[in-house]
Amino acid sequence: MRLNVDMTMDMDIRCSPQRFRWTGPDPAHHFSIAIVSSAVGVLFRRFQTWTKLQDLHLANIAFPRDAKELFSTLPSLRTLYLGQATLVPVIPLACLLCDPRMNSLMIVRLVDCYVESIWGPRLRRADSNVQ
């Protein structure tokens, strides 16, 4: 069954959850994509309408190749978890995390996040100058 995107958008605008969690159906040691890149833009536009969103947990996600305008400031966000993610837009994500309007953000976890595919470079703290 395929849901009408306009209906779900309308429904989401009427609610403002504090927590949103999306994980794939696979066991932790498996890697599959549950949020495909074509759905990511719609999903992230929904987050903009959720003014009370504090905890965001997204796993098994493939970002679109052109994600420059994807991330919007979420002032109430306290926790961000990205896991099992491919095509992670590093610069836009870093800009979001450094945005002074994101002053409620306390915890950021990036687990198995890849710049390209799962066979490409992984985002690792060891690769940065941050300790």
Can you tell me whether residue 48 is helix, strand or coil? Answer: helix
Q: Which residue has the higher pLDDT, 112 or 105?
A: 105
Q: Could you tell me the strand order of the sheet in which 107-113 lies? A: 19-22, 55-62, 79-86, 107-113
107 pLDDT band, cuts 50/70/90, is very high
pTM for the full model? 0.78
Rounded CA separation 131/125 (Å): 8
Residue pLDDT, tens place only, 28-85? 666 666 667 778 888 888 888 888 999 999 988 889 988 778 899 999 999 999 998 8
